[in-house]
Chain A
């Protein structure tokens, strides 16, 4: 019933992709000749054309990530280049834009209208509808912005690589885990620490020499001063681009693709978080300061926080990650996760044997809703040499109906890098691995439970950027829920369930320092939102950051720091005027999760509502509306404080 995974997709990939792209273009030309155009005669087949390309591309890129080989290295860059070119060119075609405009004037139902409107917006954001000179200006600016972002990243990378701190022995890092130490260890028995995140974080957490911490902190916080100039240019171009496209500023322009109703709403939300979180953060700081005093640090500074907090955590929580390993045998966890999802949403996962997959360790499940097949899930959880690090979910097929009424089932992959079972020893996961798995499973169910007939709005397609992490963070919360852990967290040797006090430890560990963490992210998000309101000079940017810190932060960094020069998320990444998404989605997920938690987790009526209003609805409506339909009210920012143990 389901399409098998094409393990041979890399073979002749160039021939196939070229063919598909050229044939697609031919078909598109034919579609564009249709008059008059309607949703059914143009948009439906148009979407199918893009799905054909996507469904070819996903396995190829997937193989590159999970089965690195000589062939994949050769094939993937070529495929990526061609796919990128194809979609870039597609989004610049005025004839398609005009076709969509024509269809927008025909009679459409609400969902069809959203498909058309969303796509018109995408085209307009790339400037297709503008006069030639403006269009050219947009093109030039986009190129220039890409160049500036690239330069910003390069400057930051250079600055990161420039610095090294050498310790002749381990005198000051005695408490550092051996694994971290070994990464810094040099042949002459000395240790070198750099500004690369893993090295820097480990050093700041375990180095007991305050001066050394200060030295590396200073280096870290003053990286890439040459980025200051670029920030001005970037902000200026973003402002101009927004204005040409008809928006007041970049933040407003970006907001049109978000679920948050307006920039003001976002700012209000962030300010509310700051106000509500601050007393708790101050309390946390006081605890840190008190503990600091015991260590002889009277005036705790930013570069002391990680070090002191680690010691507090050790003393007060007694949290040792390894103690939890026996409770999280990977197969138990996977089974438990699927059991949990099945129980909660009244669905079934049926293991499928005898299907061809890219690795023997891959496990395949079919998802059944009301006993009918609906989607396929591929789990590839264990680390192996040929697999890229980290964990992710990727969607392959999308649930939809094509123009002829054929039903297409969805599919998705979860990939992780958990330790594989070896020599008869089981694969035991850290709890952080368990939350990772739950997180990715949240993305997966958002995609595969979709029942939306229009592919462009089905599953994770078309979901606003600030809502995409909602289901994943929602599910992640359950990895701390007793009633869920009961389903699978059993000692693999004895079968004994995880004791309640250990679950408490997990929760406390999660919540430790959560207020400071909340404020830190709120600070970044607010700065991002404000700085994108105009074409500020560097001095003004600095001023905004300081003002935000005054309002939000509980501990001010030293004057010499220039965090803005290394905030690549917004100046060189995809989060410009969108950094708040992390917190926004977290608010949605916290609010939804709390309702479940308070109702005793397995509440059929609540789960049905969540399924019907959120999970099965993809992007049929904005997440703002979908959430309202689910909860009967707006999301409550306080929920965020509650799930992090602050309220």
Chain B
């Protein structure tokens, strides 16, 4: 028999669950099933006799009986890839389109799609959707073909598991046999906050045949079609909504100019409610609409108020960074037949290592600087191995074979970790030991697989698994958690920052294989349902709090408040108050040790006065076109970057940036030229592909994060355009004379230098063209076509003109920038009739640069500051 209750809106859900369970379990042995671990802990802390607690996930697992071993989630992708590799050509094409090679040859590429595939399969399984239903829903679309192939993959996957004596637990959820454990209980209480999947409904129905069931529904507002379908399926009646009371006086909306402002506001307000309203910090919560915001609350927790639940990923720890870097370098070396690695990688390696006690890091830094100054892209491994740092820590990992079973890699990692153990800072001792424990656990999971994997795949898998480890950062008393994590919980005060339309409501990856139309057809929750569900969670927790402070960022026209805020403002006539900060009261730390030769500096707000020592430095440095551009754009930026050499401490790139694509394209073009591969060669595109593979191996982002195959496609596609255009140019008589050739010329006491992407010569017309590649759309290229030059912010090509003409005593005919993005187009960017003016202008700037009377000053063009990596230092905030 199924009984149904609905949790009252305005009282504590936990109280309601507790009191209900208390009453219901007086006589009966009861199982209480709750959505989240946090809510479960909350109920458990109140101690209920006669009641056992389960999360929904645990309950599903324990009532799904099989004689076979349930597959470890970490092995799913592995098995899926195995079967995907043996799909028929048609199936493979239907699923992966034309990119099956990319996905199937590389584990990391496959992982990205496998997450989507598995989510899709899980949903199909959970909603008990048959192939026929799927066809029907996808009829008259491309999906029709894909559906069959997807199902073939799913079946093959299950067959493989079966052969390995494993089983996918999802397939067991709707089994009628619930196992003997259910017999322990007379009654089951389910607390349901969201939507129920079909197999959950089936499970409840099966269970109700022999046991008493009580379902407590917890949602705000009227029943939608999903709830009415549950009523029908389970033959129940869900009570109508009580009146949700959201007291508008308890709700405050604030428009802030930054996230930092909101953190400051939250800090102040929390202290206020604590002292004035006597609300303990433990009864306050900061609900985050996006997990990535957690790191800000960690970083700006000046008063140790915040308790970041679910903690922070291991990514940021020194031990993880070191391990990752060492493994990646190992990979890069192995993969590259020339035994070189890119400086980009090495640079990242340096920046990411925070183990300051490691000897020899400074040497690595010096090598990088030197190499970059020499315009090198790669560094030979042989050269690297002369550095003691690498010798000490690298040789352990270097022993690994190209192909090996994963447990063997784990063993090596453990040996490596033992070697660096003494260098681990105190703050990482705990995570270090957790890491070792996890490795032991992983070893036992992967010992099921006998296959030898490529080192690359093994490293990818292990790093991925390790990255799930959380660092314990729990400190203060105010809970900081995601909205989903707080389901069913209640607090006296809640803060919800960053309620902006670009992150709330969140989007979901589920829609990749099932679009909204199909979802409607299959009666599955659509993105709109999911949006309304999460808004519903938020409303519930708000209605149960004494005070809700919602805030969003509105500093310019680019970001807007979330639709949730707009609906709330409209419905309750709430106006957003403003909380703007130009200067923060909490987060200013003045540190000046960034400047190593501070004693020789006249530092000033936005102005740095030159010293003789600086001028010496200016004269001894070669000046590149980009340094020259830096100077004319913001001389203060030039100072930070070129004089002080304050490097931007970049975080590991987790996405492929346009700049990175630009660099890759550049490098491919360079290698094509050095290998004498011409556009007329039939194998041109194949060569591009090979070189491309070679080059991207130098970028961690392609190996460590989930890369997008589309980006790789895009790069190849650009070369198709290049081929067309360059063949035409060839027909017109242009020959490439030089590629990436360095030029130097001393003017006004400073050596100017530049590496010109390409110089073409036309034998018929005797024209010389200077060509510079840019990964920008054609309309965004910087053209210098009219006097006067001081209004331009990019003088790269005039600079090259000057450099080339002085060197060769020949004046180039045309200067082009070639847009590598969107379409491959030649755009004339410099009117050579301005060359004399340009020379005078450049020389005057060179003189100015060396003048002690002209200080370095911050640009007045605030747009430049917006994207400047030195903005924080420049404003004294670092």
Give A contacts to B, CB under 8 Å. Answer: 1-9, 11-12, 15-16, 18-20, 22-23, 25-27, 52, 56, 348, 350, 352-356, 364, 366, 368, 370-373, 376, 406-409
Contacts and interface: CB of A to CB of B under 8 A. Distances in A.
A461 B845 CA distance: 47
B604 A366 contact: yes
Contact of B582 (A6, A52, A56, A368): A6
B654 interface: no
Interface stretch (B384-392, B505-513, B587-595, B672-680): B587-595
Contacts of B601: 371-372
Q: Please give me the 9 A-B residue pairs with the lowest Cβ-Cβ distance, nearest first.
A: A19-B268, A22-B271, A6-B583, A22-B275, A1-B876, A23-B271, A18-B272, A373-B603, A366-B604
Contacts of B268: 15-16, 18-20, 22-23
Nearest to A371: B602
A507 B580 CA distance: 53
A8 B607 contact: no
Contact of A352 (B264, B581, B606): B606
Contact of A26 (B271, B598, B858): B271
Contacts of A8: 580-583
A353 B860 CA distance: 11
Given A3-B583, A6-B583, 20 more contacts: A1-B603, A1-B604, A4-B605, A12-B265, A12-B579, A18-B272, A18-B275, A18-B276, A19-B264, A22-B275, A25-B275, A26-B271, A26-B303, A350-B604, A352-B606, A356-B582, A370-B599, A371-B600, A371-B602, A372-B601
Contact of B271 (A4, A19, A370, A373): A19
Overall SS of chain A's interface: mixed
A7 B581 CA distance: 10
Given A16-B268, A56-B585, A371-B611, A406 B590 contact: yes
B605, B609, B858: most-surrounded residue (chain A CB, <10 A)? B605
B578 A18 contact: no
Contacts of B603: 1, 372-373
A20 B267 CA distance: 9
B602 A373 contact: yes
Given A8-B582, A366-B605, A373-B603, A22 B858 contact: no
A356 B605 CA distance: 11
Contacts of A12: 265, 579-580
A406 B585 contact: no
Interface residues of B, number: 38
Contacts of B611: 371
A456 B212 CA distance: 72
Nearest to B582: A8
Interface in B199-243: none
A410 B389 CA distance: 43
Interface in B851-868: 858, 860
Nearest to B591: A406
Contact of B303 (A4, A27, A364): A27
Given A8-B580, A15-B265, A355 B592 contact: no
B590 A407 contact: yes
Interface in B259-277: 264-265, 267-269, 271-272, 274-276
B580 to A, nearest CB: 6
Contacts of B591: 406
A6 B583 CA distance: 6
A534 to B, nearest CB: 45
A451 to B, nearest CB: 15
Contact of B580 (A11, A22, A23, A355): A11
Nearest to B604: A366
A369 to B, nearest CB: 11
Contact of A372 (B274, B579, B602): B602
Contact of B592 (A4, A56, A370, A407): A407
A647 to B, nearest CB: 44
Interface string B511-540: 000000000000000000000000000000
24 contacts: A1-B604, A3-B590, A7-B582, A8-B580, A11-B578, A12-B579, A15-B268, A19-B271, A22-B268, A22-B274, A22-B276, A23-B303, A25-B275, A56-B585, A350-B607, A353-B606, A371-B600, A371-B602, A371-B609, A372-B599, A372-B601, A406-B590, A406-B591, A407-B590
B605 A406 contact: no
Contacts of A52: 585
A20 B603 CA distance: 30
A232 B579 CA distance: 53
Nearest to A408: B590
A404 B590 CA distance: 11
Contacts of A368: 602, 604
A259 to B, nearest CB: 32
Contacts of B589: 406
Contacts of A56: 585
A552 to B, nearest CB: 52
A198 B199 CA distance: 92
A52 B586 CA distance: 8
A352 B604 contact: yes
Given A8-B580, A56-B585, A406-B589, A22 B606 contact: no
Contacts of B267: 19, 23
Nearest to A370: B599
B599 A16 contact: no
B599 A354 contact: no
Contacts of A19: 264, 267-269, 271-272
Given A1-B876, A19-B269, A406-B589, A350 B579 contact: no
B858 A354 contact: yes
B698 to A, nearest CB: 38
Nearest to A365: B604
Contacts of A11: 578-580
Contacts of A26: 271, 274, 303
B605 A355 contact: yes
B605 A15 contact: no
B258 to A, nearest CB: 13
Nearest to B579: A12
Contacts of B599: 370-372
B563 to A, nearest CB: 26
Contacts of B264: 16, 19
A354 B604 CA distance: 11
A256 B711 CA distance: 77
B555 to A, nearest CB: 14
A348 B602 CA distance: 10
A354 B860 contact: yes
A2 B265 contact: no
B711 to A, nearest CB: 41
A535 to B, nearest CB: 42
A374 to B, nearest CB: 10
Contacts of B303: 23, 26-27
B430 to A, nearest CB: 23
B275, B276, B604: most-surrounded residue (chain A CB, <10 A)? B604
Given A18-B268, A371-B600, A371-B611, A2 B592 contact: no
Nearest to A356: B582
A371 B599 CA distance: 8
A505 to B, nearest CB: 41
B604 A15 contact: no
A294 to B, nearest CB: 61
Nearest to B272: A18
A406 to B, nearest CB: 6
Contacts of A18: 268, 271-272, 275-276
Interface in B587-634: 588-592, 598-607, 609, 611
Nearest to B275: A22
B692 to A, nearest CB: 46
A8 B264 CA distance: 15
Contacts of A20: 268, 585
Interface in B656-683: none
Contacts of B581: 6, 8
A453 to B, nearest CB: 14
Contacts of B607: 350, 352-353
